[in-house]
Amino acid sequence: MDEIDALYEEVILDHNKNPRNFGVLEEATHKAVGHNPLCGDHIEIYLNVQNGVVKDVKFKGVGCAISKASASIMTTVLKGKTLAEIQSLFDEFHRTLTSKVDEPVNTEKLGKLAVFAGVRNFPVRVKCATLAWHTLIDALGNKKSD
């Protein structure tokens, strides 16, 4: 598969077109807003966390296919995870995206997220794929104030 097809994988195009868990979570305990001023991307993440475990998550926003798909796929893997598990998953995700093109990908740990490995060939798009995750980590540090 060539690099560009690997970036715009079917799965990514599908999540871009039909984002999962899209919307506002009324009973959110945590939320955060993320921006990428360079491309005008904007994302809001809503979480319901009970006893340190994510019960529910939704997101809203505008962005490129990579950032939207990343947010969408992220929301599908969070439920039931502890905050420590999420942090460790993000660390692996981030490490993979910024690793060298020929380094092996830990597909076992990444699961569905492995589809973003193609972003490694496009360093300027790494921010797009990580925006949702940075916003998530931000949200987990923030209690919803309103």
Partner 1 sequence: MDPKNLEIRVEKKKSFNVYKIREDFPILQRKVWDKPLIYFDNAATTQKPKQVIKTIESFYKNLNSNIHRGVHYLSQASTTEYECARKIVKVFINAKYEEEIIFTRGATEAINLVAHSYGSVNLRPGDEVLITFMEHHSNIVPWQIICERTGAKLKVVPIDDNGEIIIDEFEKLLSDRTKIVSVVHVSNSLGTVNPIEYIISRSHEVGAVVLIDGAQSIQHIPIDVQKLDCDFFAFSGHKIYAPTGIGVLYGKRSLLEAMPPYQGGGDMILSVSFEKTIYNELPHKFEAGTPNIEGAIGLGSAIRYVQNIGLDVIYKYEKQLLDYATEQISQIPDVEIIGKARNKASLISFVVNNVHPHDIGTLLDRDGIAIRTGHHCTEPVMRRFGVPATSRASFAFYNTFEEIDVLVKSLKKIIEKFK
Question: What is the rounded (10 degree) CA torsion for 28, 31, 37, 41?
Answer: -30
- Letters for 24-63 (x = contact with partner 1 by CB under 8 A, - = none) are --------------xxxxx-------------------xx
List residues bridging with 63 in a β-sheet.
Answer: none
Distance separating alpha carbons of residues 119 and 139, to the nearest angstrom: 24
Number of residues in contact with partner 1 under rule CB under 8 A:
21
Query: What is the secondary structure of 84-95 as a DSSP string?
Result: HHHHHHHHHHHH
Is residue 143 at the binding interface for partner 1, with CB under 8 A as the rule?
no
- Per CB under 8 A, the segment of 8-16, 20-28, 77-85, 91-99 that binds partner 1 is 8-16
Within 13 Å, how many C-alpha atoms sit on residue 41's CB side? 22
Closer residue to partner 1 (CB): 19 or 25? 19
The token pair that represents 4 in the structure block: 């560009």
Count CB-CB contacts under 10 A for residue 128.
23
Binding segment toward partner 1, per CB under 8 A, in 1-9, 47-55, 97-105, 132-140? 1-9
Q: Give the residue, chosen from 106, 122, 142, 144, that forms a contact with partner 1 under the rule CB under 8 A.
A: 122
Q: Point out which residues bind partner 1 (CB under 8 A).
A: 3-4, 7-8, 13, 16-17, 38-42, 62-66, 68, 122, 125, 128
